[in-house]
Structure 1
Amino acid sequence: MSQTYGRSPLWERYNDTQVTKEAVAELAGFKSGDVNFKLALWDPRVNGVRYLKTLVFNLAAGLSPANWARLRRIAHRDVGDPFSITYDGEPVCLDYLQAVLELEFIESRLELAGARVLEIGAGYGRTCHAMLSNHDVAAYHIVDLENSLDLARRYLAAVLTAEQLDRVHFHGVSEAEDGGALRALRFDLAVNIDSFAEMTPGTVRAYLDLIDGHAAHLYVNNPVGKYLDKSLDGHSQGDEVVELALRTGLLRDIVDIHDNRAVAAQSRRFLDAYRPGPGWTLLADARTVPWSFYWQALYRSGASGR
């Protein structure tokens, strides 16, 4: 072999391990295997963080000036050590990119100054953090399961000012029951992001009934259905978790989540499923960036004066 144009020591190894004579002799499946993972594509099985950071970088590159302003108003986004990139000197992670895009969708259609907000299933509290950093809401109520609620309390205490934190109220799920504290309150906006799909159908319907009777608007952001594509994660949490996930939520149809027409068709069922009651009007809906199979919608109660 030519010493001038021959293989480097690195490619000597690759030719012995991945791009072997035997491997390149077979076309079937080579683009989703070791040959192409060395020639053209980083192996997604071990390069998840690389792809995540690439996704965040490209989303950051497309942010509007208004969304950059929303993001910069949110202080202490580095608490918890997220996977971040740096764009124009600003640290950016996926959680808060999604938060500002969701906030843009809501605030373009609803005045949030002075609003009383109820979030059902707040995770660690990034939506609350984003909203209070950008709007002078009157009160922000979070209802969640005990462990998640404890995390949200600690996180929001670390990232919000004392004045902001005074407007946040934490509720265990028992307070959503008939006679519970949440039943005595009225809300301008109820929010659910990515948790209705993980509840039992009965629990989702109970929350929608609470919203129907006690809220003027609902913003919902969830998957349009279920999927069974094992290539995405190898069912890494086990088949039992897969089976449990398939039995949760109101939308349990198996959907090709990377077929835009299939997702768009299923979104019609999404809009019907999450309408809290017959008197509610759909104000807007759209696919949720960046995910192919998440949809978002904003509804208004017929009893709302806002």
Structure 2
Amino acid sequence: MDHIFRASRQWERIQNRYITEDAAVDLTNLKSDPRNFKLSLWDPTTNGVRYLKTLAYHLGMELSPAELARIRRTPNREIGDPTTVRCGGETLCMDYLQATYEVGFIEREIDLSGARILEIGAGYGRTCHMIMSNHDISGYCIVDLKNTLRLSKAYLRQVLDEPRFKLIDFIEVDSLQDDSLRSERFDLCINIHSMTEMSPETVRAYLDLINETCSAFYVKNPVGKYIDKSLDGYLQGQEAVEMALENGPLRQLLDIHDSQAVQAAVPAFIEGYRPGDAWDCVGDSRALPWSYLWQALYKNPRKPSDG
């Protein structure tokens, strides 16, 4: 029989639309336009979920036994319909991959058994959920904006059992006064990716509160600001970009995908989030998988802390 060698209908369409005769000899933007997205890559502008799942899958396959066990002990993670993958029979999402990294970093220096914890800006409550599912703590206090606080309260009410949920105090930012929480004592304060979105004055106010009331502080935030329209096309508008640039304690611009630029910004990060002069930074590292997020753990030598 005769063998037939010819393009499929799919590739005839690609040749006619993307890799035309003219386009085949023009190398301008070859690796970042539809030609390469048909030849070797998926277009990131239309395949964001595909890339998110790919990233989550690779992280999930590299989890240590302790990291995976932490996730498995955290129930009801399916609430809220997350974007998930399955690795080794376990359903995983990016949020709880982040949480196990965060809690693991904290556990290296802090004994969370019986701890009293303050979290400033808890999002919907993933880190609180994991800590309370893995440790018998004595109390957890969340300080946040009104609507976000309502969200974390609704979420944590569903994912935690009643005895654990009753250990949480929810405090609205607007109700805080200069003397609010000053008489309280916490073994640990947590801030994850929210101080970078606060005014510098507000960040300083929180750091002063941490200095007065806490024995340890875990922070995970960007090392600086960036301007890169290729990432999202400024979907929220130029005004949103300008507002982001004016917030946080670290407002220098850098290339967040340049490892040397990120590393050079680390000393300013460690100083910028130090609650007070006496506090010691006992550990810091890049916060996987993001190129520009850093994490640090500080201890206050004037106050006792387990670890």
Identify the residue that residue 95 of structure 1 maps to in structure 2.
95
Describe the superposition over 1:76-107 as per-residue Cα deviations: whole angstroms up to 9, x where unpaired: 00100010011122110000000001111000
**Identity between Structure 1 and Structure 2 (%):** 51
Q: Runs of at least 4 residues of structure 1 off by over 6 A?
A: none
Counterpart in the other structure of 2:121: 121
Tell me whether 212-221 or 12-21 shows the greater mean CA deviation: 12-21
C-alpha distance in 2, partners of 1:165/1:229?
Answer: 41
Q: Within 1, Cα distance between the matches of 2:194 and 2:214?
A: 18
The CA distance in 1 between the partners of 2:280 and 2:117, in whole Å, is 19
Aligned to 2:143, the other structure's residue is in SS state strand
SS in 1 for 2:82: coil
Q: CA RMSD in A?
A: 1.1
Alignment-derived partner of residue 69 in structure 2: 69
Cα distance in structure 2, aligned partners of 1:197 and 1:305: 28
* Partner residue in 1 for 2:192: 193
Deviation at 1:175, TM superposition (A): 4.0
Q: Deviations over 1:167-205 (max 9, x none)?
A: 11100113432132x222110000000000000000000
Gaps of 5+ in 2: none
Q: Deviations over 1:220-251 (max 9, x none)?
A: 00000011011111111111100110001011
In the TM superposition, what is the alpha-carbon distance from 1:3 to its structure 2 partner?
7.4
Amino acid of the structure 2 residue aligned with 1:290: P
For the 8 Å contact 1:222–1:294, the answer to whether it is kept is yes
Look up the equivalent residue of 2:221 and give its one-letter code.
N
**Aligned residue for 1:228?**
227
Tell me the equivalent position of 2:298.
Answer: 299
Match of 2:145 in 1: 145
SS of the residue 1:190 aligns to: strand
Structure 2 partner of 1:282: 281
Return the alpha-carbon distance in structure 2 between the equivalents of residues 281 and 174 of structure 1.
Answer: 31
Q: Secondary structure at the match of 2:50?
A: helix
User: What 5-or-longer segments of structure 1 have no aligned partner?
Assistant: none
* In structure 2, C-alpha distance between the alignment counterparts of 1:253 and 1:274, rounded to whole Å: 15
Alignment of 1:1-306 (within 5 A): 4-180=4-180, 182-306=181-305
Aligned equivalents of 1:171, 1:183: Cα separation in 2: 14
Q: Amino acid of the residue matched to residue 284 of structure 2?
A: D
Distance, in Å, in 1 between the alignment partners of 2:184 and 2:119 is: 13
Aligned residues: 304
Higher RCO structure (Cα 8 Å, ≥6 apart): 2
2:224–2:251 Cα contact (<8 Å) kept:
yes
Residue 219 of structure 1 deviates from its aligned partner by: 0.2
One-letter amino acid matched to 2:218: Y
CA contact (8 A) 2:121 2:191 kept: yes
Residue 176 of structure 1 contacts residue 210 of structure 1 at CA under 8 Å; is this kept in 2?
Answer: no
Q: Bigger shift: 168-177 or 128-137? A: 168-177
1:5 to partner: Cα distance: 1.8
Determine the C-alpha separation between the residues in 2 that align with 1:20 and 1:73. Answer: 54
Distance 1:176 1:279, change over 3 A: farther
**CA deviation string 1:265-298 (max 9, x = no partner):** 1011000000000010010000000000000000
The normalised TM-score by structure 2 is 0.97
